[in-house]
Structure formats: structure tokens, C-alpha cells
């Protein structure tokens, strides 16, 4: 086993060897520009792009004509939210989203607030979920867009997309969902799930970094977006720029593999995730599951460990590559905004760890990681006076702490 063991699959994934193989010819022999209409180099590239469009559309129940290529989900999110805001701004200036969204959504919304738009940031429930009822209560006559993620990248909670989408369609409001963590991992169908716009990113589904796609509904309703990148009018005028042909071929192949293997992969990941949770919670008490116990991704396990110091725990388990809700692993000093929005206290947020189970995760790796976590939590708790008091049956909430003079 090679350490550190990679368990940060929500941050990025390695390129699947089958994806790499599909991409390689497009860096060398078949290097044409997909927009070159006058010769075979261009036609071959265009054919490859068309095939990828088909593979991507198929994974999410869309039509190939509804796929717009991007550089990834951050760009897709910007294009979706700003594109809708600019196109429909005369109709209304109100947008609904959630506090648990990815920064790309939150920062884009804050940018629009500075331009005169009004944004409602719904507070999710304690599991990170936003319901259709929450959305219904926030809808206004001037609401033009609801932006809620399909599945959360930190805690794996899956939102009730179908119900939220149905509500939006009933009210004539456009519904955008950040599908980065969900599409390819759980069954997603933009028709059945009533989605108008959805983004995905290749590097989260075993494709290359720097390429993604945006689904934009063409009928019932036809969604229009103001382009955020002007130029040659590629991608039906929604996103100019020469297409990243090798990247797009890789994204297409990645989608095809996800579609073929989704069911088996989700089952295998969920089994490993539950096994890991079982290993840890059978040895340790005071472990909290962050996220929803049922409505969650099969490949994500986010746990907090009471009475241990987050940074010491992370250092202790450095043979496992994971992410934490703690401030020390992120660029900002704040603990995770997602955990905060779910009312997870700062102490628990600091000791939270996200374990990602990926396509290449083995049972052996799960056992190694679980053992390391158990050993380290036990070691740290042995040094914790608080944990000792709890073990003695003292209710910490009733303790009168001596003030310092
Ligand atoms: C990774 C991620 C993004 C950003 O995607 P990039 O392609 O890296 O820009 C957006 N939303 C979610 C939920 C993500 O997990």
C-alpha cells in the first residue's frame, strides 16, 4: 500500500487510465480545431467533440444540443448564474440559494448583489438539506433563479432536486443546480428531475482538470443565457473560445464510464463507506456524522470527533490524505461555512474529517485509515481532561468553570 492513502475524492480524482488512453491521440495526430470547417483535421476534431457531447448528455438524460463546454464547474456556475441574471434581470432581480453552496456559487451571488440583485441565502437544516418548502417560502414575484446544489461537496448531503425543480417549473422560475458531486455518482436525469441548468466538472469524475460542461435546457422552458465570454460565437453563442478537444474527449469518456458503472460503483462505495463508519463508531464514542444519514452520496463520509483537537488529529493521521472542516486546512481562517450553516459548533467543525471513497479505494485502505483514526483519537482523548470528566459521568454543560483572575 502506497501512503499517503488518497481519500480526498471530493476535491479531485485521478484520471482513469481508460480516459487518458482516449485523450492521447488528440494531443498529437488528431490535433485539429473543431471549428475548422474546411478540412479533415477540423472534421475529425468536430466528430470527437460531437461524440463527447453525446456521452455527456446521455449520462444526465439531456440532448447533445443542450451541452455547452466550459473550463469546469466554477466557470459553469458563473455562466449559469450571471448569464440568467443578465438575461432575465428586467423581469426581476431576486435569486434564491443556500448557505451551504460551494464558494463559486456564493461568491458569484455576492458579485451580483453589488450590482443591484437581491439574494436570499437559505439556511439548510442540521443535515445540510434544503427542501422545496424552504424554497416555496422564499419565492417572490421577482424571483428569477433558484440555485441549489445537487449534492454537497463537504458533507455529501443530497438535496430533493426533483421536488425543488417541480416547484420552480410550476412558478416559472429557472432552476440551476451545481451537479459537480452528483452527476456520475448517483442517478441524475435532468428531465425527470426538472432541472433547467446543471454544471459538471471532469476532474471530479475521473477525467482531466480544466474542462467541464453546462447543461442548458432547450425546451419547456427554453433557457437563454447572456454569454460571459465573447468571441467567435462557439457553443451556440454561449461560450466563445476554441474547444479543448483532448479535454472534452476525456470528459466524454469519463461520463461514458460513469454511466456504465454507476450502479455497481455506487454500491461498492456505499459498502466501503458504511464499513468505515462501522469500524470507527464501534471503537469510538462521541463521533458525529455530519450530513444526512440517508440522503447522502455513496462515496462521502464526514465525521467529527468530540474531545479531540482537530489539528492534532490531522497531524496524527497524515498517512491519509483527507480534507477537514477545520480552518487550518483552508486558505481562510474561518471553519467550514457549510458546517456552520448546519449549526455544527466550532469545536466539532474543527475536528471534522471528510473521507472520500473513490473508484480506486480498496478495503485494505479503508481498514488502514480507520485504524489510524481510531488510534489517534484514543491517544488524544487520553490527554483530554474534558473527555476524562465525561467518562466519569459529569455533564459538562452543568459544570461551573472557575473564572480566571
Ligand atoms: C469542485 C467543485 C466545484 C468547482 O469545480 P471546478 O471544476 O474545480 O471549478 C464546484 N462545485 C462543487 C460542488 C464542487 O465540488
Instruction: Write the residue with the smallest CA distance to atom 3 of ligand 1.
Output: 73
Residue 402 has pLDDT above 80, yes or no: no
Instruction: Write out the CATH class of domain 17-258.
Output: alpha beta
Q: Going by DSSP bridges, is the β-strand pair 67-70/212-216 parallel, antiparallel, or unpaired?
A: antiparallel
| Residue 399: predicted pLDDT | 82
Q: Which atom of ligand 1 is nearest to the CA of 71?
A: 7
Q: Going by DSSP bridges, is the β-strand pair 323-324/352-356 parallel, antiparallel, or unpaired?
A: antiparallel
Residue 334 has pLDDT above 80, yes or no: no
| Cα(151)–Cα(124) distance, integer angstroms | 13
Average pLDDT over residues 98-108: 98
Asked if domains 5-10+261-388 and 17-258 share a fold, the reply is no
Please report, rounded to a whole number, the percentage of residues in the chain having pLDDT higher than 90: 90
Those residues with Cβ within 8 angstroms of residue 234's Cβ, 6 or more apart along the chain or in another chain? 35, 240, 241, 242, 243
DSSP 133: H
**How far away, in angstroms, is 323 Cα from ligand 1 center?**
15
Please report, rounded to a whole number, the percentage of residues in the chain having pLDDT higher than 70: 98
Q: What's the pLDDT band for 155 if we cut at 50, 70, 90? A: very high
Sheet hosting strand 197-201, strand order edge to edge: 67-70, 212-216, 197-201, 174-178, 143-147, 94-98, 118-122
CA 224 to chain centre: 24
| Cα(268)–Cα(246) distance, integer angstroms | 30
Question: Cell digits for 80?
Answer: 449559469
Mutate to test the pocket of ligand 1, among 97, 148, 180, 296 (most ligand atoms within 8 A of CB): 180
What values do phi and psi take at 239, rounded to 5? Answer: -155, 100
| Residue 224: predicted pLDDT | 97
Residue 195 has pLDDT above 80, yes or no: yes
Q: Which residues pair with 174 in a beta bridge?
A: 145
The rounded mean pLDDT for the chain is: 96
Residue 58 Cα distances to 51, 53, 187, angstroms: 11, 8, 12
Average pLDDT over residues 103-131: 98
DSSP 299: T
Number of CB atoms found within 10 A of residue 96's CB: 27
Query: Ligand 1 pocket by C-beta < 6 Å: which residues?
Result: 72-74, 102, 104, 149, 153, 178, 180-181, 201, 204, 212
Residue 33 has pLDDT above 90, yes or no: yes
Q: Which atom of ligand 1 is nearest to the CA of 12?
A: 1
For the chain, give every domain's residue range: 5-10+261-388, 17-258
Asked if residue 60 lies in contact with residue 179, where contact means CB atoms within 8 angstroms, the answer is yes
Interhelix angle for 245-283 vs 40-60, to 10°? 30
Mutate to test the pocket of ligand 1, among 11, 106, 178, 208 (most ligand atoms within 8 A of CB): 178
Q: Which residue has the higher pLDDT, 388 or 262?
A: 262
Mutate to test the pocket of ligand 1, among 11, 74, 103, 147 (most ligand atoms within 8 A of CB): 74
Residue 328 has pLDDT above 80, yes or no: no
Those residues with Cβ within 8 angstroms of residue 221's Cβ, 6 or more apart along the chain or in another chain? 169, 172, 174, 196
| Residue 401: predicted pLDDT | 78
Q: Decide: helix, strand or coil at residue 325.
A: coil
| Residue 207: predicted pLDDT | 98
| Residue 130: predicted pLDDT | 98
Average pLDDT over residues 78-96: 98
| Residue 333: predicted pLDDT | 63
Overall fold of domain 5-10+261-388:
3.90.1150
In DSSP notation, 163-214 reads HHHHHHHHHT-EEEEE-TTTBTTB---TTTTT-SEEEEEGGGTTS-TT-EEE
Average pLDDT over residues 279-308: 98
What percent of the residues of the chain are helix, what percent strand, and what percent coil, each to the nearest 5? Answer: 45, 15, 40
Question: Cell digits for 274?
Answer: 458504511
| Residue 397: predicted pLDDT | 82
Instruction: Write the residue with the smallest CA distance to atom 14 of ligand 1.
Output: 180
Asked if residue 324 lies in contact with residue 310, where contact means CB atoms within 8 angstroms, the answer is yes
Residue 14 has pLDDT above 80, yes or no: yes
**How far away, in angstroms, is 154 Cα from ligand 1 center?**
11
Amino acid at each position: 500500500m502506497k501512503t499517503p492513502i488518497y481519500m480526498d475524492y471530493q476535491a479531485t480524482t485521478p484520471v482513469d487510465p481508460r480516459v487518458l488512453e482516449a485523450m492521447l491521440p488528440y494531443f498529437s495526430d488528431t490535433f485539429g480545431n473543431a471549428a475548422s470547417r474546411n478540412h479533415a483535421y477540423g472534421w475529425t476534431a468536430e466528430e470527437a467533440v460531437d461524440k463527447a457531447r453525446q456521452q455527456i448528455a446521455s449520462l444526465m438524460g439531456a440532448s447533445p444540443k443542450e451541452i455547452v463546454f466550459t473550463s469546469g464547474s466554477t466557470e459553469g456556475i458563473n455562466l449559469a448564474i450571471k448569464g440568467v441574471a443578465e438575461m432575465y434581470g428586467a423581469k426581476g432581480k431576486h435569486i434564491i440559494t443556500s448557505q451551504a453552496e460551494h464558494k463559486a456559487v456564493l461568491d458569484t451571488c455576492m458579485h451580483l448583489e453589488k450590482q443591484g440583485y437581491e439574494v436570499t441565502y437559505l439556511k439548510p437544516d442540521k443535515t445540510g438539506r434544503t427542501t422545496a418548502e424552504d424554497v416555496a417560502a422564499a419565492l417572490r414575484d421577482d424571483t428569477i433563479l433558484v440555485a441549489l446544489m445537487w449534492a454537497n461537496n463537504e458533507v455529501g448531503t443530497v438535496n430533493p432536486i426533483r421536488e425543488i425543480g417541480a416547484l420552480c417549473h410550476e412558478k416559472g422560475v429557472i432552476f440551476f443546480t451545481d451537479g459537480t458531486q452528483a452527476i456520475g455518482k448517483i442517478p441524475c436525469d435532468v428531465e425527470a428531475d426538472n432541472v433547467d441548468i446543471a454544471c459538471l466538472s471532469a476532474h471530479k469524475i475521473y477525467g482531466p482538470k480544466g474542462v467541464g460542461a453546462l447543461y442548458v435546457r432547450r425546451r419547456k422552458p427554453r433557457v437563454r443565457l447572456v454569454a460571459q465570454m465573447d468571441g467567435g460565437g462557439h457553443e451556440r453563442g454561449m461560450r466563445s473560445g476554441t474547444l479543448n478537444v483532448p479535454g472534452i474527449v476525456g470528459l466524454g469518456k469519463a461520463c461514458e464510464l460513469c454511466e456504465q458503472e454507476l450502479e455497481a460503483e455506487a454500491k461498492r462505495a456505499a459498502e466501503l463507506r458504511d464499513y468505515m463508519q462501522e469500524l470507527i463508531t464501534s471503537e469510538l464514542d462521541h463521533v458525529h456524522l455530519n450530513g444526512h444519514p440517508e440522503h447522502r452520496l455513496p462515496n462521502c463520509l464526514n465525521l467529527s470527533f468530540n474531545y479531540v483537537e482537530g489539528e492534532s488529529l490531522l497531524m496524527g493521521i497524515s498517512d491519509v490524505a483527507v480534507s477537514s472542516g477545520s480552518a487550518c486546512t483552508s486558505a481562510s481562517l474561518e471553519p467550514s461555512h457549510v458546517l456552520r450553516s448546519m449549526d455544527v459548533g466550532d469545536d466539532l467543525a474543527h475536528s471534522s474529517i471528510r473521507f472520500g471513497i473513490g473508484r480506486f479505494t480498496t478495503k485494505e485502505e479503508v481498514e488502514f485509515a480507520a485504524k489510524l483514526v481510531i488510534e489517534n483519537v484514543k491517544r488524544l482523548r487520553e490527554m483530554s481532561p474534558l473527555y476524562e470528566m465525561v467518562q466519569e459521568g459529569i455533564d459538562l454543560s452543568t459544570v461551573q468553570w472557575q473564572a480566571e483572575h
